[in-house]
């Protein structure tokens, strides 16, 4: 079994994609929209960044492309993705790593309020 910590720290784009996939199976454009929405518009991915990052996540075994469509009338050009078990563990490990970084930053900048 692969240690989730061996993937850390994740590149920002990959982490945002994994976070988007925590809501369930999504196609590429829906992932792009979810990332923009969850970041308040701060993170915007173009197609090259999105699909390059997805390819790296799939190659690493953190996400997988689905063979099926949610409905028969769905656009056949759409490719759907979901987290793997390892992807869930890595996403959680990265979230924990960032939460600890935030905790330390706040403690350093506001002593006594950690």
Which CATH number characterizes residue 30's domain? 1.10.10.10
Question: Look-up: residue for tokens 């993170």?
Answer: 43
Q: What is the pLDDT of residues 34-83, one digit of tens each?
A: 999 999 999 999 999 999 999 999 999 999 999 877 676 777 788 999 99
Residue 46 located in a structural domain: yes
pLDDT band of residue 113 (cuts 50, 70, 90) is low
Location of structure tokens 């350093």 = 108
**Cα dist from 94 to 14, 29, 70, whole Å:** 11, 24, 29
Whether residue 56 lies inside any domain: the answer is yes
For tokens 């063979």, the residue is: 67
Share of the chain above pLDDT 90, in %: 83
pLDDT at 112: 74
Kindly give the residue spans of alpha helices, DSSP state H, lying in 40-84.
47-59
- Boundaries of domain holding 54: 9-69+77-109
HEC readout, 19-44 = HHHCCCCEEHHHHHHHHHHHCCCCCC
* Domain annotation covers residue 2: no
């Amino acid at each position: 079994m692969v240690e989730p910590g061996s993937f850390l720290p994740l590149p920002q784009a990959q982490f945002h994609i994994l976070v988007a996939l925590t809501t369930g199976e999504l196609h590429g454009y829906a992932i792009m929209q979810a990332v923009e929405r969850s970041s308040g518009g701060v993170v915007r991915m173009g197609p090259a960044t999105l699909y390059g990052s997805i390819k790296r996540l799939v190659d690493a075994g953190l996400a997988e492309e689905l063979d099926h469509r949610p409905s028969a009338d769905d656009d056949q050009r759409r490719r759907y993705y979901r987290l793997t078990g390892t992807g869930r563990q890595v996403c959680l490990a990265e979230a924990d790593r960032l939460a600890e970084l935030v905790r330390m930053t706040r403690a350093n900048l506001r002593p006594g309020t950690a």
